Structure 1
Amino acid sequence: MNDLIVVGLDGSPASDAAARWGAREALLRKLPLRLVHAVDRWPPFALPVPTIDTHPMRVQALLSETADDLRTRFSELQVSAESFVGRPADILRDSAANAHMIVLGARGLSSVTGYVLGSVGMAVIRATARPVVMVRADDESAPHTSSRNAAHDLVVGVDISRPCDALLAFAFEEAARRACTLHVLHSWSLPPLVGYGAAYDPRVHAQLELSANAALADTLSPWRTAHPAVDVTTRASVGHAATDLLNSSSEAGLVIVGRRIRRSPVGTHIGPVAHAVLHHSRAPVAVIAHA
């Protein structure tokens, strides 16, 4: 049973924003919020990251102050806070075994270079099958509003050539809770056997686009039936998936991408599209693991 929202807290501005975002999400779902801080006593190497001193008293102060601030902001919120010693990715994975999602902060660099996922965020996404949401330090977008608002719409990228039930289940359920529009994007490339001349033939291009949109409609049909109140827009177009998602989500409340669950111990376990969106999206990004 997914009975709570877990937020990784490290004292950085990004994790503070993640805590506020997670608190609003917990209220939306009527779930308790758990703040988790992990101290790795033997990190593999030292990096200058914006975290607090790991002295126990300072850690406890961070947890208490953040929890008190959230209770003041959100009077109905149930908040708990815990600190552990161990690898942050392992601690967060274990703490979120029964969680609906894990919320983490993404360290920002600049509007040009994008946002750094960071080693902890990468490790958490790789280690857990739970949804992971990355939030920017300056993100104050609310997970829901009292009326439809384009600034809080959801954008999801799907690959209709692969199973994506977990991805669409999360996207439609989120849109239903928030009472917002769900924008579904599918980006496709011309088949390798289509020559350059045929690629510019309007008849060939129109037929391929028609087929892609029909396949996308078939994929979404059962989800539209299950969630008739969700306003859905769709677009299947030629292009690079990550670029299309980023261009379409500049004003979104949440971008949703999938990653395939890989059993191999090597590799990033994050596909190129999810990787690019995580590093450059201006909106919070939810990564959904699926088969």
Structure 2
Amino acid sequence: MSRTVTVGLDGSPESMAAAEWAAREAGLRGLPLRLVNVWEPVPEPMGQAPLLGADIEHEWREPAPRRAAEGIRLRHPAVEVIVGQLSGAAAEVLTEETKDAELLVIGSRGLSGIGGFLVGSVGQSVVAHATVPVVLVRAEEQAADEHLRDQAGIPSAATPYRPVVLGLDTDRPNDTLIGFAFDAAARRDTALRVVHCWKPPPHFAHGIPEHRELEAELGRWDGAVLAEVLRPWKQKIPAVEVVEEARPGKAAHHLVDASQEASLVVVGRRFRRAPFGAHIGPVTHAVLHHATVPVAVVAHV
């Protein structure tokens, strides 16, 4: 079976935005787009109610994916669109669908009145268990948002893409994560901004004269380590301009700040065997909830 870019679709604004982003990504990758609509069966007592019969279920299930597919085919005529309608628990079904996917895309809802986005229980479960990269897209994400502004100060699909941002831990770098970020930047013909953060020593204070030299030395050392990690990738994919940033402080804060000028933020999730199930990790969790652009979570060992 051909690999696909798969998107979870339920008719909500965030899932429709995810479908539009996924269609653009499928076009960049030259892959079919699979729209998956998951119907979660209602509990037995409710399912026996007259208003929740087969006709009503069909009425809920059919229109959203069909309309979405029709619209995407018009806007992206070069992309093959496949519609799948499945039943079961949404998180489990979408995770299972990743077995035939190169990428899974789902929506992320904005928090009204709060600076952030909401990754619901389905999204968090899929991110925590999927073995392929999962991209979360904000509601109402527009194509132009991924591009630089033109001379009039307006982002446009006719202008170049903004850089791809990669959050990288140089203590445990992973080729799957780095390769995904380089590939994303290459497909967009844009720069890759790699952000690595290091922790200052205990009781370290910025701005104190005797600490400035130490901070500069630590920054140079971490910068050299970052450059060494990226050196083979820069040689392998020389067409991608790489901007290396080794910064003191919390990685989540720097990545969220960097997202404001990015087209895509790429972060990792390590496979973990824990007594309470899979975990996303604190940095990835924070970026998912606060980054202002689509976030790709790449699972790796």
- Mean alpha-carbon deviation: is it higher for 79-88 or for 262-271? 262-271
Residue number among 261, 268, 271 corresponding to 2:271 in the alignment: 261
- Alpha-carbon shift at residue 59 of structure 1 (Å): 1.2
- What is the aligned-residue identity percentage? 44
Q: TM-score, normalised by structure 1?
A: 0.89
1:131 equivalent among 114, 121, 133? 133
Q: Which moved more, 1:29-38 or 1:158-167?
A: 158-167
What residue in structure 2 maps to residue 219 of structure 1? 229
Tell whether 2:213 aligns with 1:203: yes
Q: Which amino acid aligns with 1:10?
A: D
Q: Give the structure 2 partner of residue 98 of structure 1.
A: 100
1:60 equivalent among 59, 62, 80: 62
Deviations along 1:72-128, one digit per CA (max 9) or x if unpaired, are 111111011111111111111222212111000101113633100000100111121
Q: Is the 8 A contact 2:200 2:249 kept in 1?
A: no
In the alignment, the residues of structure 2 paired with residue 256 and residue 281 of structure 1 have an alpha-carbon distance, to the nearest angstrom, of 11
Determine the C-alpha separation between the residues in 2 that align with 1:178 and 1:18. 18
Deviation at 1:196, TM superposition (A): 5.7
Distance in 2 (CA, whole Å) between partners of 1:112 and 1:41 is: 33
Question: What secondary structure sits across from 1:273 in the alignment?
Answer: helix
Deviation at 1:42, TM superposition (A): 5.3
**Partners of 2:4 and 2:31 within 8 A in 1:** yes
Rounded to whole Å, the distance in 2 between the matches of 1:59 and 1:195 is: 57
Q: What is the root-mean-square deviation in Å for CA atoms of aligned residues?
A: 2.3
Segment drifting more, 34-43 vs 231-240 = 34-43
State the TM-score, normalized to the length of structure 2: 0.86
Decide whether the 8 Å contact of 1:11 with 1:62 is kept in 2.
Answer: yes
Q: Are the aligned partners of 1:125 and 1:287 in contact in 2 as well (CA < 8 Å)?
A: yes
SS of equivalent to 1:174: helix
Q: 1:265–1:18: structure 2 CA closer, same or farther, 3 Å change rule? A: farther
Give the C-alpha shift of residue 195 in structure 1: 5.8
Q: Using a 3 Å threshold, how does the CA distance of structure 1 residues 147 and 228 change in structure 2: closer, same or farther?
A: farther
String of CA shifts for 1:35-61, please: whole Å, max 9, x gaps.
001122258xxxxxxxxx972233111
Partners of 2:109 and 2:210 in 1: how far apart? Answer: 42
Decide which structure has the larger Cα Rg and report it.
2
User: Number of residues paired by the alignment?
Assistant: 279
After superposition, residues 1-291 of structure 1 pair within 5 angstroms as 3-41=3-41, 55-110=57-112, 112-141=114-143, 148-149=160-161, 152-192=162-202, 200-264=210-274, 266-267=276-277, 269-291=279-301
Distance of aligned partners of 1:195 and 1:224 in 2 relative to their CA distance in 1, 3 Å threshold: same
- Opposite residue 69 of structure 1, the aligned amino acid is G
CA distance in 1, matches of 2:241, 2:204: 38
Which piece of structure 1 moves more, 18-27 or 266-275? 266-275
Match for 2:75: what amino acid? R
| Contiguous gaps of at least 5 residues in structure 2 | 44-54, 148-156
Deviation at 1:264, TM superposition (A): 2.3
Residue pair 2:191, 2:242 contacting (<8 A) in 1 also: yes
Structure 1: which 5+ runs fail to align? 44-52
Is the Cα contact below 8 Å between 2:136 and 2:295 reproduced in 1? yes
Task: Kindly indicate whether the alpha-carbon contact (under 8 Å) linking 1:90 and 1:127 is maintained by their aligned counterparts in 2.
Answer: no
